[in-house]
Structure 1
C-alpha cells in the first residue's frame, strides 16, 4: 500500500456503496482497509500502526451484533492503548469521517501540547 496513513474499517461484511468510507477517508488523506468483523485481528496484524480503527456497526443491528462490536471495541482499545490508536464505533457512514477527523485532530493537538 502507499505511504498514506492507514485506517482499518471493520464491518459485518455486508457492504453497500453508499456506506463506504473509503472515498471520504481518501479525501482526508487516509488509505482505508475494510475487513469483515471475523478477520479484524488478522488484518490488524498486517497493518503496522494504523492511524485509527473504525468499527462500522450496522444501523439496524440486533443486540447480539451490537454486543459483538462493543466487545471488540473494548478489547481493541485495551490492546491499542499504548500506541494511542483511536478505536471509533459508528452506526453507519453518516458522521464516521467527521468523528475520525475530530479524534485525530484532537490527538495531534495533544501531541503538540505534550
Structure 2
C-alpha cells in the first residue's frame, strides 16, 4: 500500500456498499484495511502502527456479537495503549468517520503539546 496512514476497520465480514468506511477515510487522507472480526489479530500483526482501529459492530448485533466486539475493543485498547492508537467502536458508518476524525485530531493536539 502507499505511504498513507492506515486505519484498520474490523467488521463481521458482511459488507454492504453503504456500510463501507473506505470512501470517507480516503477523503480524510487515510488508507483503510478492512478485515472480518476473526482475522483482526492477524491483520493487525501486518499493520504494526495503524493510525486507528475502528470496530464496526453491526447495527443489529445480538448480545453475543456485541460482547465479542466490546471484548476485542478492551483487549486492543490495552495492547495499543503504549502507541496511543485510538480504538473506536461504532454501530455502522454513520458517525464513525466523525468519531475517528475527533480522536485523531485530539491525539495530534496532545502530541504537539508534549
User: Which TM-score tier does this pair reach, normalised by the shorter chain?
Assistant: over 0.9
Task: Tell me what 1:4 maps to.
Answer: 4
How large is the Cα RMSD of the aligned pairs?
0.4
Q: Give the distance between the partners of 2:42 and 2:113, measured in 1 at CA.
A: 34
TM-score, L = length of structure 2: 0.99
Structure 1's consecutive aligned runs of 4 or more residues displaced over 4 angstroms after TM superposition are none
Unaligned runs of 5+ residues in structure 1 are: none
Q: Give the distance between the partners of 1:77 and 1:13, measured in 2 at CA.
A: 22
The answer as to 2:50 corresponding to 1:50 is yes
Unaligned runs of 5+ residues in structure 2 are: none
Q: Give the distance between the partners of 2:63 and 2:35, measured in 1 at CA.
A: 21
Question: How many pairs align?
Answer: 114
User: CA offsets per residue over residues 61-92 of structure 1, 9 Å max, x none?
Assistant: 00000000000000000000001100000000
Q: Give the distance between the partners of 1:72 and 1:26, measured in 2 at CA.
A: 25
